[in-house]
Amino acid sequence: MKKLKLLFLFISLAALGQDNDSNVWSGFDTNGFSGVFYNRVTPVEGTTYLFDNWEQNAIVHKILKDKFLVRRVNLNLNKMTFDAKITESEDVLSFSFKGVDKVEINNRTFKNILYNKSNRLFEVFYTDDNIKFMKGFEVKLIKASKDPMVKRPFDKYVKTESYYLMNKKVLSKIKLKKKEIYKTLGLSNEDISQLNTFIKSTSISLKKEKDIIKLLTYLNSI
């Protein structure tokens, strides 16, 4: 019986050592018998994808002006790709943005733009010859903490959003405040006066995306 128990222990530890989905934690050596403890991969909360599901379709516009439809699409904020589920299983086909001008999903336009020497996914709200108003997306992995006061037992993906203005090909991160928007746009005193009059007459708020679009549309018209 003792030999049987030892054999079972040996088989169990051998199987444990062959688990490719685990991370080495520590080893031991006792009575000439050695083994390795493995700490299984910790579950990760959250997702690297922008949308909560895969129900949306995308119209992909290539730089060469042709376009095609991709069904069951999501945007991977970590890899900066647009991915499609090709079957009912979890199999995913990943597409890069190379050669792609923009991707349209649910009447929203997304572009992959270089910012601070790395590619970033942006949703484009407004664009003209000189100005673009966009929202940038980023995902970060927050490591788990053993501190019970932190209450974070698992790694977690956290998505963040920020607003950006591109003026004459210079891309700047902004807050939705009038002074900061005006400064980024490099407005003349005459432009500022006209915009202030427009804001007052229309009662728009520069804390809302739709109202900034109205402001930029008006600016482009004067």
Phi, psi (rounded to 5 degrees) for 146: -80, -5
Domain ranges of the chain: 2-40, 44-172, 175-222
Residues 207 and 178: their CA atoms lie apart, in Å, by 9
For 10-45, what is each residue's pLDDT tens digit? 333 333 444 443 344 444 444 554 555 445 556 788
Look at residue 86 and give its three-state secondary structure.
coil
Question: Helix and strand tally (H, E) in the chain?
Answer: 4, 14
**DSSP β-bridge partners for residue 114:** 119
List the end-to-end C-alpha distance of the chain, in Å, as a whole number: 92
Structure pTM?
Answer: 0.76
Centroid of chain to Cα 160: 8
Q: Are strands 100-105 and 155-167 parallel, antiparallel or unpaired?
A: unpaired
For 122-166, what is each residue's pLDDT tens digit? 999 999 999 999 999 999 998 888 777 777 778 899 999 999 999
Phi, psi (rounded to 5 degrees) for 170: -100, 120
For 90-131, what is each residue's pLDDT tens digit? 789 999 999 999 999 999 999 999 888 888 899 999 999 999
The length of the chain, given as a count of residues: 222
Give the pLDDT of residue 67. 94
Look at residue 135 and give its three-state secondary structure.
strand
Residue ranges of the alpha helices (H) in the chain? 2-17, 178-185, 189-202, 209-221
Q: Are strands 44-45 and 155-167 parallel, antiparallel or unpaired?
A: parallel
For 67-90, what is each residue's pLDDT tens digit? 999 999 999 999 999 999 987 777
Mean pLDDT confidence for 185-203? 96
**DSSP β-bridge partners for residue 47:** none
Give the pLDDT of residue 64. 87
Mean pLDDT confidence for 164-173? 94
pLDDT exceeds 80 at position 204? yes
